[in-house]
Amino acid sequence: MLTKCQFDVLLSLRQNAAATQRSIAESIQVSLGSVNNALAELKSKGLIEADGALTKEGHEALAPYKADSAVILAAGAGTRFAPLSFEKPKAMFEVCGETLIERLISQLKEAGINHIVVVVGYMKEAFFYLEDKYGVEIVINHEYADRNNHSSVWAARDHLSNAYIVSSDQYYSKNVFKSYVFKSYVSAVFEEEETEEYALQADKKHRVVGMARGGKYTYRMQGPAYFTREDAQTFLALLKAVHADPNAAGLLWDDVLAAHLDQFNIVLGPIEPDVIHEFNFVTDLTAFDADFFANVDSKILDNICATLDCDREDIVRVDPIKAGLTNLSVLFEVKGAQYVYRHPGNGTEEIVNRKAETHALGVAKKLGLDDTFIYEDPNEGWKISHYIDGCIDFDYHNQVHVEKALFMIRKLHTSGEESPWSFDFYNEALKIVELLKKLNYPFPLDFDELFKLITSLGEKMKVDQGKPVFCHNDFYGPNFLVKGDEMRLIDWEYAAMGDYACDLGNFVAQGSGYSVEEACDVLHFYYGRTPTAAEERHCLAAVGVVGFYWYVWAMYKEAMGNPVGEWLYVWYKAAKQFGAAALERY
């Protein structure tokens, strides 16, 4: 094994056998005496010739330190980079005339690292060409939507020895990679301002002894990391346990490192300021590359400009909105006014009729139920709306909120407006069940029992549903914009002719938290009177059927790689609880 000084001197001579002691001392930042001692030691070990050239043994001594591989993490959806990440992965955008990931690959190859693995997930097909163009290896992370980036490192676990771990969306103004690395390290940039990233503490020998979120006047973790063979084995053993733990799904790979730092001999790798450029948001990139917005190939930006009659330069303050269950949205500003761009989610073309939605939005605007609507493309499903600032959450236990909401849906039902389309929650649920069967989805053990209950209710509802009316069909709390005395009903994706009770079913099934008794208690706000027993049982049946629809819809979304989290359980409980209560009344 070599000492750090011996390694640095030997590597310097490998690069330039004619290098002087002084030039070596300056390049590796040690004293001239230390270089002279190292040279003497290397000669005594037979690792260098008298003229400084490396012997065969010298090359063999360096071999264990050769950087063998690089793992580029490119699986994430980059939702903070909306709306452009709706069109392609962040790593595929051009920055200063170069595609981000291609520049990264080129820098790695320039450093002599030819075994490059790209871990992909979101829009994975966008990366496949890199195999032929650069000879990289593609590894698919099938868990990218369910787990954080530790799953990408785990997917590349066979390639981590003497390897770099690199984020695909960073731009290095100069090449930071090395062909030979003495010890595991994490890159870091000194930060004077407060940072929310990992702040690193190192001892006098530069070993990292502390990692904690937040701090200022500190080195913050940023840029590539490197693991030697020994540390890679230690890390993978830890990562294996994390990957097997469902409660650890949200962990980053560096969270795992931070929690077990004492098991590693990992050093700080300082990088000069303004070398690493990270683009979390579109505004980060436009601040770095002033021409990016003007030159980027983006149909989304073209849509916005055409709809709002503006130039790309007018689009400012672009911020992603937390992704909804069906779609992706982004907030932006044009000429002082705020707007929302809605992008259809993956797989929604199978279950959403965009032409019907466009028609319904026109009706909602006409009736004064939703004045936010500006334009929707009925074929592609993208939509632009006014943004209403200062809204509060709808409260299912606020009588004013509930009364106003049920008055609004009654207004729609009795408006006489019609749609060329219809939506039957029971029939649509059956269609999704068939889609799931084609996908060989693993149904839960009690699915058949619940399906039998809903089938019975669906048939009974058809008998007493009455004349179809114009329905919203996604009528629940999050789709109300509440501001002062104003209330708007948004998100008309499923609106069509149907059974009026299904809107009430949505209202209860989708997170109201109501018991059966509480659900019955609010019905008088809709009817303007006490409902009859037949009306009550019909509405309860609708809660069960609608809950079941959203339950199987959630399964479908999960099968498409877009899990909806706890909502699946909420809808399951609604289908089971209210379905049973309704069947008793029948």
Q: Please provide the DSSP assignment of 539-554 as one string.
A: HHHHHHHHHHHHHHHH
Q: How confident is the model at residue 350 (pLDDT cuts 50, 70, 90)?
A: low
Q: What are the backbone dihedrals phi and psi of residue 387, each rounded to the nearest 5 degrees, phi first?
A: -100, 130
Averaged over 63-74, what is the pLDDT? Answer: 96
- Alpha carbons within 13 angstroms on the beta-carbon side of residue 218 total 20
Tens digits of per-residue pLDDT, 500-514?
A: 999 999 999 999 999
CA geometry: angle at 463 spanning 458 and 465, to 5°? 80
**326 touches 348 (CB < 8 A):** yes
pLDDT bucket at 346, cuts 50 / 70 / 90: low
More confident residue, 427 or 18: 427
How far apart, in whole angstroms, are the C-alpha atoms of residue 25 and residue 9?
8
Contacts of 486 (CB under 8 A, 6+ apart): none
Query: By C-alpha distance, which of 568, 436, 406 is closest to 576?
Result: 568
Higher pLDDT pick, 477 / 52: 477
Beta strands in 400-535 (DSSP E): 469-471, 480-483, 486-489, 496-498
Is the Cβ–Cβ distance between 112 and 119 less than 8 Å? Answer: no
Contact in structure between 31 and 8 (CB atoms under 8 Å) = no
Residues in the chain: 586
pLDDT tens figures, 451-479: 999 999 999 999 988 899 999 999 999 99
In 16-134, where does DSSP find H-type helix? 21-28, 32-44, 56-62, 100-110, 130-134
Rounded to the nearest 5°, which phi and psi values hold at 189?
Answer: -125, 135
**Is 351 in a helix, a strand, or coil?**
coil
Does residue 199 contact residue 212 with C-beta atoms inside 8 Å? Answer: yes
Q: How would you classify residue 416: left for phi > 0, otherwise alpha for psi between -120 and 50, otherwise beta? A: left
| Region of residue 14 (left: phi > 0; alpha: psi -120 to 50; beta: else) | alpha
pLDDT above 70 for 74: yes
Can you read off the two tokens belonging to residue 379? 């074929």
- Asked if 580 contacts 455 with a C-beta cutoff of 8 angstroms, the reply is no
Q: For residue range 96-128, what is the model confidence (pLDDT) as tens digits? A: 999 999 999 999 999 999 999 999 999 999 999
- Residue 325: pLDDT over 80: no
Classify the phi-psi angles of 372: left when phi > 0, otherwise alpha if psi is within -120 to 50, otherwise beta.
Answer: alpha
Burial zone of 165 (CB within 10 Å; 0-12 exposed, 13-18 middle, 19+ buried): buried
Report d(CA 227, CA 153) in Å as an integer: 12
What is the mean pLDDT of the segment spanning 531-549?
97
Reported as a single tens digit per residue, the pLDDT across 149-182 is 999 999 999 999 999 999 999 999 999 999 999 9
pLDDT of residue 5: 93
The residue whose two tokens read 């360096």 is: 62
Residue 532, exposed/middle/buried by CB under 10 A (0-12, 13-18, 19+)?
Answer: exposed
Q: How confident is the model at residue 318 (pLDDT cuts 50, 70, 90)?
A: confident
Dist. CA 68–CA 108, nearest whole Å: 11
Rg from Cα positions in the chain: 30
Q: Which residues pair with 215 in a beta bridge?
A: 195
In order, the DSSP letters of 419-451 are -S-B--HHHHHHHHHHHHHHTT----TTHHHHH
pLDDT at 351: 63
pLDDT band at 282 (very low <50, low <70, confident <90, very high): confident
Q: What would the mean pLDDT of 250-264 be, rounded to a whole number?
A: 94
Distances (CA, A) of 540 to 395, 526, 545, 585: 21, 14, 9, 9
φ/ψ region of 352 (left if φ > 0, alpha if ψ in -120 to 50, else beta) reads beta
What's the rounded mean pLDDT across residues 72-98? Answer: 90
- Provide the mean pLDDT of the chain: 93
The Cα 141–Cα 144 span in angstroms is 6
Give yes or no for residue 439 having a pLDDT over 80. Answer: yes
Identify the helix (H) or strand (E) that includes residue 202: strand 195-202
| Residue environment code for 439-476, b if the CB has 16+ CB neighbours within 10 A, otherwise e | eebeeeeebeebbebbebbbebbeeebeebbbbbbbbb
Peptide bond into 83 cis (omega under 30): yes
Location of structure tokens 């407006």: 417
In 3D space, the residue among 499, 502, 475, 492 whose CA is nearest the CA of residue 356 turns out to be: 492
Instruction: Report residue 322's pLDDT band, with 50, 70 and 90 as the boundaries.
Output: low
- Asked whether the beta carbons of 318 and 332 are under 8 A apart, the reply is yes
The confidence score (pLDDT) of residue 82 equals 84
Check: CB of residue 131 under 8 Å from CB of residue 139: no
- 238: how many CB neighbours lie within 10 A of its CB? 16
Nearest to 361 by CA among 412, 308, 425, 301: 412
CA dihedral 147, 153, 155, 158 (to 10 degrees): -160
